[in-house]
Amino acid sequence: MSQIEAQYNEFTNSITQTLSNVDVDLLLKIMYLERKLPDAPPMVELTIDYNSGTNIQNKQEAVRAKYGFPMNAGEHGLTLVGRMTVPLIEELSKNRDVKFISGKATPASY
């Protein structure tokens, strides 16, 4: 393994320690897009999986009321679509019922 690969692994492990319930690749993609296109937060399709026994309908209502994102509710979680930043995802991840957050990010259209 090269030195740069070792540094990358250390970096991603550090992120995982900080936000253990969020996909590191998603965070890296969002941070990349935020820096490359600073005038427009990336468009993110975010999947929030909740712990077993969580009332998804209550979570959907709470997330919609606070953030206003269009979303779909599934059996174990929510899928949100909208312009999002790392601090927002970090805030969402702090809910005690969140099991894991994943998704994909693309450049937002201007």
The CA–CA distances, whole Å, from 74 to 42, 44, 68, 101 equal: 24, 18, 18, 14
Q: What is d(CA 27, CA 33) in angstroms, rounded to the nearest whole number?
A: 10
Q: Which two tokens stand for residue 20?
A: 């253990």
Per-residue model confidence (pLDDT) at position 1:
84
Taking the alpha carbons of 60, 61, 66, 72 in that order, is the dihedral positive or negative? Answer: positive
| pLDDT tens digits, 77-100 | 999 999 999 999 999 999 999 999
Structure tokens at 81: 């679509």
pLDDT of 110 above 70: no
* CATH code for the structural domain at 3-106: 3.30.70
pLDDT of residue 9: 96
Q: For the segment 18-66, what is each residue's pLDDT rounded down to a tens digit?
A: 999 999 999 999 999 999 999 999 999 999 999 999 999 999 999 999 9
pLDDT attached to residue 75: 87
Both structure tokens of 33: 């897009």
CA distances from 75 to 55, 60, 61, 67, 72 (A): 10, 12, 15, 21, 10
Q: Is-contact 84 97, C-beta < 8 A? A: no
Cα gap 51→16, rounded to integer Å: 19
* Domain layout of the chain by residue ranges: 3-106
